[in-house]
Amino acid sequence: MYVSGQVFLILLAFLVSWALTGVITKHVRSARLMGVDVHKPDRPRIPKIGGLAFTASYSAAMLLNWLMGGGVVELVLVVSPLIAAAIGFLEDVRELNPVVKPLLLLLPGIPVLLLSAYNPYPVIPLVGGIRITLLYPLLVLAAYTVVANAVNSVDVLNGSLVLSTLPVLLLLAAVSWLMGGETPALASLALGASLLGFLRYNWYPARVFSGNVGSNLVAAVITTVAITARIEVITLVALLPHILNEFFIIVSMGGLKSGKAFAARPIRVVRGMIVSSPRLGDPITLVRLITLQNPMGEASVSKRMALLSTYSSILALITYLLGGVRLR
What is the pLDDT at residue 252?
83
pLDDT band at 265 (very low <50, low <70, confident <90, very high): confident
pLDDT tens profile 268-325: 999 889 999 888 778 899 999 999 999 999 999 999 999 999 999 999 999 999 876 5
pLDDT band at 260 (very low <50, low <70, confident <90, very high): low
Q: Which of 64-73, 94-103, 231-240 is the least confident region?
A: 94-103
Q: Which residues partner with 270 through β-bridges?
A: 273
What is the pLDDT at residue 126?
74
Rounded Cα–Cα distance for residues 286 and 42 (Å)? 24
| Residue 126 backbone zone (phi > 0: left; psi -120 to 50: alpha; other: beta) | left
Model confidence at 79: pLDDT above 70: yes
CA-wise closest residue to 201 among 5, 39, 52, 1: 52
pLDDT tens profile 37-51: 999 988 999 999 999
Rounded Cα–Cα distance for residues 281 and 318 (Å)? 37
| Residue 254 backbone zone (phi > 0: left; psi -120 to 50: alpha; other: beta) | left
Rounded Cα–Cα distance for residues 56 and 161 (Å)? 17
**Pair 132, 122: CB distance under 8 Å:** yes
Rounded Cα–Cα distance for residues 153 and 228 (Å)? 25
Average pLDDT over residues 24-41: 94
In sequence order, what DSSP letters do the residues of 79-147 get, joined into one string? HHHHHHHHHHHHHHHSPPPTTHHHHHTTTTHHHHHHTT---S-PEETTTEE---TTTHHHHHHHHHHHH
CA-wise closest residue to 107 among 93, 86, 122: 86
| DSSP H or E run through 298 | helix 298-323
Model confidence at 327: pLDDT above 50: no
Between 180 and 115, residue with greater pLDDT: 115
**Pair 136, 120: CB distance under 8 Å:** yes
What is the pLDDT at residue 70?
87
Average pLDDT over residues 191-209: 97
What is the pLDDT at residue 2?
74
Average pLDDT over residues 73-85: 98
E strands in the chain = 34-36, 45-47, 123-124, 128-129, 267-270, 273-276
Query: Angle, to 10 degrees, between the axis of helix 3-27 and the axis of helix 51-67?
Result: 150
**Pair 62, 15: CB distance under 8 Å:** no
What is the pLDDT at residue 229?
96
Model confidence at 231: pLDDT above 90: yes
What is the pLDDT at residue 263?
55
Rounded Cα–Cα distance for residues 168 and 318 (Å)? 13
Is the pTM higher than 0.85?
yes
Average pLDDT over residues 218-242: 97
Q: Which residues partner with 274 through β-bridges?
A: 269, 296
Q: Which of 141-155, 183-197, 312-326 is the least confident region?
A: 312-326
CA-wise closest residue to 214 among 257, 154, 279: 154
Average pLDDT value over all residues in the chain:
93
Model confidence at 262: pLDDT above 60: no
Q: Who contacts 247 (Cβ-Cβ below 8 Å, separation ≥6)?
A: none
